[in-house]
Every structure is written in C-alpha cells, then in structure tokens.
A and B are shown apart, each in its own frame.
Chain A
Amino acid sequence: MNQNIPRFTGAVWLTMLIAEMFNNLPLSGEWMVWKPDWVALALLHWALILRQDSSLFMAFFMGLLTDVLSGSLLGQFALGYVMVAYISVRLGLRMTPDAYVQQFALVFIVIGLFMLVNLWISEILGQASGGLAYWGPLISSLVIWPFYHWFLSYFYTPRKVA
C-alpha cells in the first residue's frame, strides 16, 4: 500500500499559509461572489492525501486565523474547518482517492456543509444574506478543485510502505 508523506517538513503548513493568502486577496466586487474558500479546499486535499494523519488542530488554528483576518465571529471558521477536515478524512477513507467523480461528490458535500453551517451562524448573528449568490463559491470550488488539487500535489510524495 502506498502512503503519502509531505515533501518536506512544514509543507502542509506552507500550503495552508498560501491558501490563507489566497483567501485574503483583495478582489473586486463581481469576483468576490465566486471566491472559493482556499483553506477549506486545502484541508480537503490533505484529508485525501494524508488521510488519517491530517491534523484537526491545524484546521482549528487556521480557522481562528481566518476568523481574525476576515472579521467574523471568533470560532466560526474554526468550527467549519475542523468539520471539513474531520468529515473529509472519514469520508475520504471510504472512497477511492484518485477517482475524480468521487472527489467532486466529496467536495460538493463537504464544502456545501461548511457553507451551510457558516450560513446558519451568520443568520443567528443577524448578518446579511446574499440570496442565491451566497452559493457561488460552491460552484467555483468544484471548478477550481482539479487545478488546485494538482497544484498542491507538488507538496507530497508517495512512499512505498511494506
């Protein structure tokens, strides 16, 4: 059985920081609607690659960082990211990691759940809801996923395990 390991020490953290930077890119209004959550997608990627070795603490940490940088309620993204990491590890173990159709299904379910939880929290807090436009990032996540998955494949190497 093949096991994947990070290409170098801190590779996973590096991808997380890159994803966080993507999250903070200033985009103009019409692009903002389609902005996927890069950190959530990176967590999904590592859940498929490292499987049960991916870290929930890292997800939690990145969540708090996102909360502070985006000005949302502290703990909101932490909750969402931990959920993304956990569910994708559990579901990822049950699927063929290389099958794209299954990957798309996983991205759709996990990112959809993540956004739904965020929507609930925002509604409880009485923040504005953008109508259907809120779900734009779900579509763009699916579109961007193969490229992002390929880009992040640089950061790990397969290792033969006896």
Chain B
Amino acid sequence: MEAAIYDVDHHATPGLFIRFVVLMLIALTLMFVEHRSPSNTLPVRTLFSIIGYPLQLAVDAPFRAYNVTEGFFADQTRVSKQNAELEARLLEIKADYRNMQIIKQQNERLRSLLKISKRPDFSFTMAEILSASDYRGQSVVTINKGTRDGVFVKQVVLADGDKAQSKGGNIFGQVISVTPLSAQVILITDLQHAIPVRNLRTNKRALASGTGKPDVLELKSIVAESDVRDGDIFVSSGLDGLFPADFQVAEVVSNGVNYVPGDPFANIKARPLINFQNTREVLLLWRNAEPEITPPPAAEQSENTNNATPEAENAQVAGAVQ
C-alpha cells in the first residue's frame, strides 16, 4: 500500500516544465511587444480573429434565430398594425427629408455666400454587433463588417438613441481594429476613450470621457463657474477632426452637476444617449469626398496679402479725406 503511493513519480512529466517556461516567455514577449506598439502584433490578432469569427457567429446564431422567429410567429394583427405605424412614420420622415433637402441647399448657398467651407457629407452602412466583451472596464464590441466592406481603423460608429427625441445617429464609438470580415469597435464609455463635446445650449466645450461603466460618462474640463444644468445635451464638437460635429453624445443626469470646494473644475456626470446593452445594430459612417471649395477664399486672401498694404491704402484714404 505504501509502496503504491511512493511508486507514483510526481515528476514524471518530461518536458512539461520546459514547455511551460517557453510558452510563458512567448506570452510575456507578446504582451511586451503589444504594449509598446500595438501595430506589431496586428498579424497575430487578425489571424486569431479570423479563427474566432465562426465562434462568434455561432454564439450569435441563437439570438439572431430568436429575433427572426419572434418576427415570424408574431401576432398577425400586431404585425399589420406595426406595419401601418411604420408606413405612417416613413411618410413623415419622407416629408421631413424633402424639407431637409431644401434647408440643406439653402444652407450650402448661405455657406458659399459667407465663404465658409461646406459641411461634410456622410454616407452610412449598417452593421450588426456580433459579440460584446466587457473585460475589466474595457468596452469593445465586434461587428460583422470588415475591410471587405471598406471599414477602416478610426472609423466613426453611430447607433440609434434610446429616447424619442434622440432617435437617429448618436455617437457609439470608433473602430480600433479591422479584419477582413469583422471589426472591433471601442465604445465611448470605455475607460480609455474620450471625445470632445460641446453643450448644445451654451456652446461651452468639454471632454466626455468614459468611465468603464456602460451608463456613465464624465464631462471634464468644465470650469466650476460655467452654466451647466441637469438635462443639458452635449453633442460632438468635431474639434478632434475624427468625430463629425453635432452628433449627440450625452445628457447630464439629474443631480449630475457637483462642485467640490477648491476644485477649479465642475464634477459632471452624464449619461450616454445610447443603451449599449440593447443595441444590436450600428451605423458605420463614411465622409464623402467633397469638391474642394476652400481654394477661392485662400486665393483672395493671398491677393490681399500680395497687395500687402491695406494699412497703407487706408492711410491714403484717410489722407485723402483729410
């Protein structure tokens, strides 16, 4: 009996330790390299996300099937009612759209009169969220569109808002990595994400940074004496050149504005205008290439500077008057 116990060789694992050490070293090296410059490990990442893509599809399949069958078995009367409602809504939106186009034309004309550069034009594609990971405050989702559909890194992603008045494109996040069939999108609530915003009511600028929690954004660099109220809507300011301007981002929660004595900045909590838990579809945004209209004003300016003597001219005029 005793012999049986002592006969077991606890160390009869030839090569296990060597393999362990080698694999640990490889893992540490990978981590080090990726931490230094994430682009170096991109091939490995791409390879593994291609391998993992079927898995994500498989996980997503039951939910998609449920959504499809739910629609299929839904009550006939309910569907026809919903259909009627949607058609009515579509009519409204069509009328709105007609109106919008007129306003857009007017706007463009006014802008060209004022010599302001044209507002960028966008085109959209819908993508579905395949899987969401919420690993340690890092909020990243995988979508089912990739380089094959023209998705690129740093592309802006929008989603439908959760409130009636904020329906349509609210800022959801941006693409951080792309593979041929899928892309990863970092949410604006991610701990390491921040987006420049401005208050829709007062035009005061701020920075909305993520907290890692799906329903809280912090509005930073707002000086304590500035005017921010509960329910203020913040939209993207477009100052970073990445996010387009004037898309809704966040709303100040009730009692979200707090002042700490001695702190020059207000402590403001806001709520993203997207319900990240329920969002299944997102919009990818492309800036359409626009005809260059900036050269004319620049040329005029250079003419002015070529004359280079507006003061002198003024002085002459003044002299003539005198």
Give the B-binding residues of A (Cβ under 8 A).
17, 20-21, 24-26, 28-29, 32, 52, 56-57, 59-60, 63-65, 67-76, 78-79, 82-83, 86, 89-90, 93-94, 118, 121-122, 125, 127-130
**9 additional contacts (CB under 8 A) given A71-B138, A75-B30, A128-B136:** A21-B55, A26-B63, A64-B48, A68-B45, A71-B184, A74-B30, A93-B13, A118-B136, A127-B192
Q: How far is the CB of B276 from chain A (nearest CB, A)?
A: 10
A93/B10 contact (C-beta < 8 A), A24-B59, A71-B138 known: yes
What chain B residues lie within 8 Å of A129 (beta carbons)?
A: 136
| Beta-carbon contact of B31 and A79 below 8 Å | yes
Q: How far is the CB of A62 from chain B (nearest CB, A)?
A: 10
What chain B residues lie within 8 Å of A83 (beta carbons)?
A: 24
Q: How far is the CB of A79 from chain B (nearest CB, A)?
A: 4
B134 at the A interface (CB under 8 A): yes
- Complex Cα–Cα for A67 and B137 (A): 15
| 9 pairs of A and B residues whose beta carbons are closest in the complex | A128-B137, A75-B30, A71-B140, A75-B31, A79-B27, A68-B48, A128-B212, A75-B27, A78-B27
Give the A-binding residues of B (Cβ under 8 A).
8, 10, 12-13, 16-17, 19-20, 23-24, 26-31, 34-35, 41, 44-45, 48-49, 51-52, 55-56, 58-59, 63, 131-138, 140, 142, 184, 191-192, 211-212, 214, 277
Q: How far is the CB of B17 from chain A (nearest CB, A)?
A: 8
15 contacts across the A-B interface (CB closer than 8 A): A24-B133, A26-B63, A52-B13, A57-B23, A60-B27, A64-B30, A69-B131, A69-B142, A73-B34, A74-B30, A74-B45, A75-B27, A75-B30, A86-B20, A118-B136
| Beta-carbon contact of A57 and B19 below 8 Å | yes
Q: Which of A24, A63, A127 contacts B137, CB < 8 Å?
A: A127
| Beta-carbon contact of A68 and B28 below 8 Å | no
| Beta-carbon contact of B52 and A25 below 8 Å | no
| Beta-carbon contact of A69 and B212 below 8 Å | no
| Beta-carbon contact of A72 and B135 below 8 Å | yes
Q: Which residue of B lies closest to A63 (CB)?
A: B27
Task: Give the A-B contact count at a CB cut-off of 8 A.
Answer: 127
Q: How far is the CB of B75 from chain A (nearest CB, A)?
A: 26
* Interface SS, A side: helix
- Complex Cα–Cα for A125 and B212 (A): 14
Q: How far is the CB of B133 from chain A (nearest CB, A)?
A: 4
What chain B residues lie within 8 Å of A90 (beta carbons)?
A: 10, 13, 16
| Beta-carbon contact of A86 and B59 below 8 Å | no
| Beta-carbon contact of B135 and A70 below 8 Å | yes
- Complex Cα–Cα for A32 and B277 (A): 12
- Complex Cα–Cα for A94 and B48 (A): 35
What chain B residues lie within 8 Å of A128 (beta carbons)?
A: 136-137, 191, 211-212
- Complex Cα–Cα for A128 and B190 (A): 10
Q: How far is the CB of B277 from chain A (nearest CB, A)?
A: 6
| Beta-carbon contact of B31 and A76 below 8 Å | yes
What chain B residues lie within 8 Å of A70 (beta carbons)?
A: 133, 135, 140
| Beta-carbon contact of B13 and A69 below 8 Å | no
| Beta-carbon contact of B20 and A130 below 8 Å | no
What chain A residues lie within 8 Å of B133 (beta carbons)?
A: 24, 69-71
| Beta-carbon contact of A94 and B138 below 8 Å | no
| Beta-carbon contact of A74 and B24 below 8 Å | no
Q: How far is the CB of B128 from chain A (nearest CB, A)?
A: 13
